[in-house]
Structure 1
């Protein structure tokens, strides 16, 4: 961002953090906000409890600095700090609660971070930050590389470094971080952890800003409901699909993993027990829990905003439906008034009173056909005479005979084609018998069809005329090569 003169002037007018730093009671606000919302990790506090805490703080300061140093009441200060023109505290009413709650805004976190940077530090570490920069640059370069050869070269380089380190450890050469290195890295860990926790307030504020923009768009919308719904759903989806949304979701999924939580707690405990660290930061002990609470609060904010937006849309739809009914009633009243007026034709034709809408889920599911059992016992001959010739014209093909023919043709061979079987055992029942060969099912062989090749099967019809059928090549292959059909028949299988 370019910090030219005009940009800084606009930023001074718009930034709530800048206004906080230049306010008359900046020291009171920053010290109180830091104690409640940062050191104690409060994300939401009832108004009555916050007034009580601020009242105690004001009483102690007036006793020490003199009566009248802070003349206003605690409630008056909170109302001033949460006013829209200041925006240092967010005042809101949670669901099912008639008491206001307060939370620090992202501007408070930014102002506190800048004030902390003004303090002189007895130790300023630089090595760990340089290593972090190099590691991040490597991750970016390696992650964006599409050339497999380049990726393989980088992996080989990392493996070579690991192998060298393993060899040094096996030889007894162990590189141990010194006191300065440990303090350097711990300083960076604490700064990053606190900054990450502070960022959640800004992420939550960004979600609320997006929701506010959607409400404004809905309020001034003059198009169709379908386009409005597409616009709203697309905007809500953009939260999760944005870079910020994807980064937040990845962090949330990472933190929710039980294995990661246990690993994080174990690492924090081991680091705080090191002598080089000295007095560890007490806030780091509860940092994983604060991260979870802040992340869950952000998720809850998104869910709550979605529910409120849905109710907002429902109210708007009901309002529009009410307006439509008023227009229809007005048309009906006008039509009734003109019904008896001569030379006025009010007849109109409609294709249908309502559109025919058939939703996919309204279609009935598939219902299996119930097969009725057939009882063949107790059949008696009828008295009436009727022609039964059709019952004897049906062609029945004995598949057991055909299977036995296939087994005989296989003999000791592993496979035999259908044309070879028909050549040795001509078809007796014509096309019906040929089709039955294709549908044979037997445990001793399997049927394989070669659609790429064709063969011609012939047979003599009842009228003596030779008939032909061109079919795919069918091959019967034995499934049990070691046992022939003759052996099965001999052993009674």
Structure 2
């Protein structure tokens, strides 16, 4: 790292530019809340724009008046600066997702603000395991047999010690240390996929430019594009991704992963420290991230298909034009043409293909079921319990929200409860929370909390309930 390299990074690297951004507190806190804490990869513009407006409104309620622009202006500016990726997928509305530079910045900031202890022992064990794996896979067959025999001897000794009652469980500190390492590895793995997807998008962009600018024939151009694609798949990164995807799509691997997660969630020491669902949702998130990489590759194939179709159409028009010119020349010189001259010769045997040579259509065989008789019967059931159920009508709660929003654009949950006193206790509050989380236009700030007083009408007791700050929008 010399001076010129450091200066180039300082001026051009998007990650460093984000760390010096004008709206650094807003964009970092908002990105972490929406993409990391929510475990989401992408958002539609209307959804992200609405949530950003609610987030700025919640900051204004705290006295922070630094952000006065429209939410869509912030999103477009961040996309132009390279902090967000703005693209169109299936709908006419643009999608937003984090750029690789933003992923790197958030990863660095998270490492900078570590709250749990640093697991030096687990990292050292992992380091030794990696070195041992490298040595084992590169050794000769005789050395490998000796290594396996030594491992078997150690396993037999451990089994014998356990049978004799000498079994020591790992301490809670070791369990927590290993779990933090697994959680950190999962986060880094998901972040690394942004760069893999970016590489495929660059290849797609280069292919589109090649198609537009190139005057090569169809076969030469396709050969050039496929060579670039093969080169990308044959790189270390491409081979690693293909091996990863095959391993992830293995049914045995998925079942084993689910079984491991169930066992880990049953360990009390891990339940005590667990704050995020990153490890629990690792399979779903990895499948989504890998699918985005595959879709980037599918977009390249789709572009090639369109190019081939357009090229075929252009060639067909050229052929039709040539035929019309030939016909015109034949009509113009029909008096001077020799009718006995052979215009075309075909080598070997000519085998024409006629439409009537094709076999006739055979309808599929329909399965006939044997006739069965259904006898009459009598069913008895006690329906009294159906009328004794405790029920919260969510539509009534939704109407309460709509009524207050008629006179204002936003209303907080605390204001809603002051106007409509809860009559069914905590269940009614949960109903409001269900409305806020299921409908994308409302905002739930899980980083800040507020308290509500709930009264039980039948017993006269009051309860104090803590909820996140919830803001309902029109």
- Asked whether 1:280 is paired with 2:278, we answer no
1:129 to 123, 126, 130: 123
Alignment CA distance shift 1:53-1:166 (3 Å): same
Which 5+ residue runs of structure 2 have no aligned equivalent?
354-474
Q: Give distance in 1, aligned partners of 2:348 and 2:229.
A: 29
2:83 to 83, 88, 93: 88
Aligned 8 A contact 1:91 1:102 in 2: yes
Aligned 8 A contact 1:20 1:26 in 2: yes
- Asked whether 1:296 is paired with 2:291, we answer yes
- Deviation for aligned residue 1:128: 1.0
Q: Give distance in 2, aligned partners of 1:240 and 1:163.
A: 43
1:246 aligned residue = 239
Aligned 8 A contact 2:119 2:178 in 1: yes
| Number of residues of Structure 1 aligned to a counterpart in Structure 2 | 347
Structure having the higher Rg: 1
Aligned 8 A contact 2:99 2:194 in 1: yes
- Deviation for aligned residue 1:49: 0.8
Alignment CA distance shift 1:66-1:116 (3 Å): closer
Calculate the TM-score normalised by the size of structure 1.
0.63
Alignment CA distance shift 1:73-1:140 (3 Å): same
2:132 to 138, 156, 159: 138
Alignment CA distance shift 1:113-1:136 (3 Å): same
1:72 aligned residue = 69
Counterpart secondary structure, 1:109: helix
1:185 to 178, 182, 187: 178
Which 5+ residue runs of structure 1 have no aligned equivalent?
340-346, 363-493
Alignment CA distance shift 1:150-1:287 (3 Å): same
1:311 aligned residue = 306
Calculate the TM-score normalised by the size of structure 2.
0.65
Alignment CA distance shift 1:355-1:107 (3 Å): farther
1:396 aligned residue = none
Alignment CA distance shift 1:26-1:163 (3 Å): same
Written as runs of structure 1 = structure 2, the 5 A alignment for 1:408-487 is none
1:234 aligned residue = 227
Aligned 8 A contact 2:82 2:99 in 1: yes
Counterpart secondary structure, 1:214: helix
1:260 to 248, 253, 264: 253
What per-residue deviation string (whole Å, max 9, x for no partner) do you get for residues 163-186 of structure 1? Answer: 221121122111321122111111
What per-residue deviation string (whole Å, max 9, x for no partner) do you get for residues 283-319 of structure 1? Answer: 2222222222222232233223311232134334544
Q: Give distance in 2, aligned partners of 1:296 and 1:15.
A: 28
- Asked whether 1:208 is paired with 2:188, we answer no
Counterpart secondary structure, 1:82: helix
Q: Give distance in 1, aligned partners of 2:52 and 2:346.
A: 64
